[in-house]
Amino acid sequence: MVTAILLAAGQGSRLGTPKVSAELMGQPFVTLCTEALLGGGIQSVHLVIGPHAELPPLPEEVAIVINPHPETGQTGSLQAGLRKKIDADGFAIHTVDRPLVTSRDVSTLLQSFRALDPAELGVIPSTGGRAGHPAFLRAGLADEIVRLSPDVPAHSVFRKHRAQLRYLDMNNPWLVRDINTPEDLADAEKSLAGEN
């Protein structure tokens, strides 16, 4: 089993709305992300939000984790999610501003994660030479991330263990692209509608 940590505490200042309550074609980002994660074979999700977030109804497999200090950024939110019990097999890191990741993407990454060699520590999706999310990591890396100073990005752990990570080339550009601005959102809507 693998637990997903879904980071959704960002304020979305450039988007004009908190990302946890942002919508794409009428569907909340958080709904699209949780459906993709669970539909791809993840069995539990730790959704990390700020203290005043408003949420749509979510499946029972989603546990809410409050980050009381969302200003600490993604590392602080990830640490909050990892402090809850995660599955022994490992964890996946995803961000709510990438709602166009599909359940097929998740399933492909999960299958690759389950097929890792013993010396490998995780699977990272890659598109166009860029690393993306969701990243699947062995449980042993959780303690290393939790020990980081909140101002140190979690990808510093990825860089440290790069030789032990499998980068899986995939063809979904939204694995590596955030929705940060209204222009990004418009592009995502066109992509979802099949216009590009």
The residue among 147 and 193 whose pLDDT is bigger is 147
What per-residue confidence (pLDDT) applies to 195?
60
Q: How far is CA 6 from CA 37, 68, 116, in A?
A: 9, 16, 23
How many C-beta atoms surround the C-beta of residue 193 within 10 A? 9
What per-residue confidence (pLDDT) applies to 196?
53
What per-residue confidence (pLDDT) applies to 135?
97
Percent of the chain whose predicted confidence (pLDDT) is above 90: 71
What per-residue confidence (pLDDT) applies to 52?
82
The residue among 17 and 34 whose pLDDT is bigger is 34
Mean pLDDT of the chain: 91
Cβ atoms 125, 170 nearer than 8 A: yes
pTM over 0.85: yes
Q: How far is CA 190 from CA 98, 116, 176, 195, in A?
A: 15, 36, 17, 5
pLDDT tens digits, 89-125: 899 999 999 999 999 999 999 999 999 999 999 999 9
Cβ atoms 55, 64 nearer than 8 A: yes
Alpha-helical runs (H) found in the chain: 29-39, 73-83, 103-114, 141-146, 155-160, 182-192
